[in-house]
Amino acid sequence: MADLSVNVAGVSFKNPIIPASGVFGYGHEYEELFPLSELGGIATKGTTITKRNGNDAPRIAETTGGMLNSVGLQNPGIDAFIKKELPYLMQKDTVILANIAGSTVKECVTIAQQLEQTDVHMIELNISCPNVKQGGMAFGASCAGAESITRAVRKATTKPLVVKLSPNVTNIAEIAKATETAGADALSLINTLLGMRIDIRSRRPILKNNMGGMSGAAIFPIAVRMVWQCANAVRIPIIGMGGVTTGKDAIELMMAGASAVQVGAADGVLVVGFDEVILFFYQRGNQRAALFRRVVLGVVVPERLVALPTETDVPNHTHIFLRVNTRLPQGAEFLWVLAVHRL
């Protein structure tokens, strides 16, 4: 088997594939479907100083080539993360990137200080979340803001520090250079693009929060461009993300300058070693859909999308074992259900 290992800021990953923060929760539900140890790493759900319930529903809206979310950093808080979630993750023989966020610089510093006393491998500082009223994207919208918070968190920890950048800026390369100057060991980009959908019947925004972050295949060319710009502006490594759907996408992003790749909305390249995989996507409420995918060279490729009014309407495929997982990852608005077929 080919050696897929990569090194990011002195940390060795067995392969470059990392589920992005938010979509993967803390991995509990996904472990029932495949071994987490096969991942290069895991970027945890964004963790704040105290528990957050997130924004009010609806928090998910479909859009062509992607989706909008305004979940709002729902998480149990740093104390619960360290006590309950981190010990579980540290047993999985993969690199753990603890994604952190705060409403103030002081909160981010405090979280980093607490993580300094743990065995977590890396800290990913989120200065790019568009779905919170304080902190988040506000920190990463200017060179001065990005440099200030990066410098403060850098002083609070000796662990490798990855700074997650926002695409909702005028010049991302300049912000990348500012964070490098302030002590970032690596960058991750791009986070979601700020977007909005309106229900033409009600004449109101679909999302309760009005706006949300857009992810999915539609933003991939923007991610490639921004990764390329940053790779040509800084010397520190980059973890690329944004619309990665296929293995070719991951390769393209690495050709643009990324050392590793995070996968969010697609979440498909996480399933390897099977000849065929059918992945069903259920959204909360009455609307359901099924997304069929197949594995090609270890990469899950989207094939077609069909509406499913009820679970009983799942198409009949010979020799496919359907495994229904009824629990939602913490903070998620959807449920992945896998059917695996070994040919």
Give 24-27 contacts, CB < 8 A, sequence gap 24+: 24/267, 24/329, 25/329, 25/330, 25/331, 25/332, 26/85, 26/88, 26/89, 26/329, 26/330, 27/88, 27/89, 27/92
| Residue 243 backbone class (left: φ over 0; alpha: ψ -120 to 50; beta: rest) | left
Helix (H) / strand (E) containing 226: helix 220-231
Q: Does this model's pTM top 0.85? A: no
Residues with catalytic function: 129
Alpha-carbon gap, residue 194 to 128, rounded angstroms: 10
pLDDT of amino acid 91: 95
Pairwise pLDDT comparison (280 vs 325), residue with the higher score: 280
Q: What are phi and psi of 290, to 5 degrees?
A: -120, 125
Helix (H) / strand (E) containing 30: helix 28-31
Mean pLDDT on 336-341? 37
Confidence tier at 133 by pLDDT (50, 70, 90)? low
Instruction: Specify the DSSP class assigned to residue 217.
Output: G
Do the beta carbons of residue 167 and residue 222 sit within 8 Å?
A: yes
Do the beta carbons of residue 161 and residue 154 sit within 8 Å?
A: yes
Do the beta carbons of residue 123 and residue 100 sit within 8 Å?
A: yes
CA distances in angstroms from 70 to 40, 51, 60, 86, 130, listed in the order given: 27, 17, 7, 25, 8
pLDDT tens sequence across 140-170: 889 999 999 999 999 999 999 999 999 999 9
Confidence tier at 8 by pLDDT (50, 70, 90)? very high
Do the beta carbons of residue 217 and residue 245 sit within 8 Å?
A: yes
| Residue 216, pLDDT above cutoff 70 | yes
Confidence tier at 184 by pLDDT (50, 70, 90)? very high
Alpha-carbon gap, residue 109 to 149, rounded angstroms: 8
For 127, the token pair is 């200065």
Helix (H, G, I), strand (E, B) or coil at 327: coil
pLDDT of amino acid 239: 98
Mean pLDDT on 8-14? 97
For 248, the token pair is 């070719």
pLDDT of amino acid 135: 53
Largest CA distance in the chain: 58
Helix (H, G, I), strand (E, B) or coil at 96: strand
pLDDT tens sequence across 53-81: 888 888 888 888 888 888 888 899 999 99
Helix axes 143-156, 172-181, angle to 10 degrees: 30
Mean pLDDT on 238-266? 91
Alpha-carbon gap, residue 15 to 254, rounded angstroms: 12
pLDDT tens sequence across 272-321: 333 333 344 433 333 333 333 333 223 333 333 333 333 333 333 222 22
Instruction: Specify the DSSP class assigned to residue 316.
Output: -
Confidence tier at 204 by pLDDT (50, 70, 90)? very high
Mean confidence (pLDDT) of the chain: 79
pLDDT tens sequence across 120-132: 999 999 998 765 5
Domain 6-263 annotated CATH 3.20.20.70:
yes
Rg (C-alpha) for the chain, rounded Å, is: 19
Q: Where are the domains of the chain?
A: 6-263, 276-341
DSSP 145-184: HHHHHHHHHHHH--S-EEEEPPSSSS-HHHHHHHHHHTT-
DSSP bridge partners of 207: none
